[in-house]
Amino acid sequence: MEHPEPSQFRQAVSRFTTGVTVVTTVDGAGKRIGMTANSFTSVSLAPPTVLISIKAGRTLEAIRSTGKFAVNILPAFGKDLSIHFAGRPSLGSAPEFEPTGGMPKLLHAIAYFDCKAMRFVTVADHTVLIGAVCACTHEDEAEPLVFFSSRYHSLAN
């Protein structure tokens, strides 16, 4: 089977506009960890189910171990958080979290989904992680960070 060049595929798929999330969990020592991901989608309403597709790394390894994760949807002003959790630490101070009964919730997340990992499906160089949503919250008026064509945008521009 023929495939497009990775750069061609990357550019084409970047034309699909998404929000930006930080997927969080805790490691074996109970320390919060997270990573930026925009491969988030809802799968089913009843029961509430979501998925993310993530590559091998610290966060995936920790989710495999705890069986739990949370998805934090970033606000319009969350570009620095996105860059930070994509492995280029750029924040002047440590990211702030809000207390919850579940996995780590970022302060200012405009929506939060606390999930139990149901299935891990490894496909090529990523793992599709399907999560049952145990709890979720959202802000009514908040604007999202938008990602299109490998750049950050807001709804207004």
By CB under 6 A, name the one of 14, 33, 49, 142 that touches ligand FAD: 33
Query: With binding defined as CB under 6 A, does residue 54 bind ligand FAD?
Result: yes
Find the shortest distance in angstroms from Cβ 113 to ligand FAD: 15
For 64, how many CA atoms within 13 A lie in the half-sphere containing its CB? 13
By CB under 6 A, name the one of 14, 49, 80, 86 that touches ligand FAD: 86
Torsion of CA 84, 90, 94, 97, to 10 degrees: -40
Q: Is 31 exposed, middle or buried (0-12, 13-18, 19+ CB in 10 A)?
A: exposed
Buried b (16+ CB within 10 A) or exposed e, 129-154: bbbebeeeeeeeeeebbbbeeeeeee
C-beta of 67 vs 87, nearer to ligand FAD = 87
Phi, psi of 10 (to 5 degrees): -60, -45
C-beta of 47 vs 92, nearer to ligand FAD = 92
Tokens coding 156: 């207004």
Find the shortest distance in angstroms from Cβ 46 to ligand FAD: 25
Query: With binding defined as CB under 6 A, does residue 89 bind ligand FAD?
Result: yes
By CB under 6 A, name the one of 71, 75, 85, 146 that touches ligand FAD: 85
Query: With binding defined as CB under 6 A, does residue 37 bind ligand FAD?
Result: yes
Q: Which residues bind ligand FAD (CB under 6 A)?
A: 20, 32-39, 53-55, 57-59, 82, 85-87, 89, 94-95, 126, 147
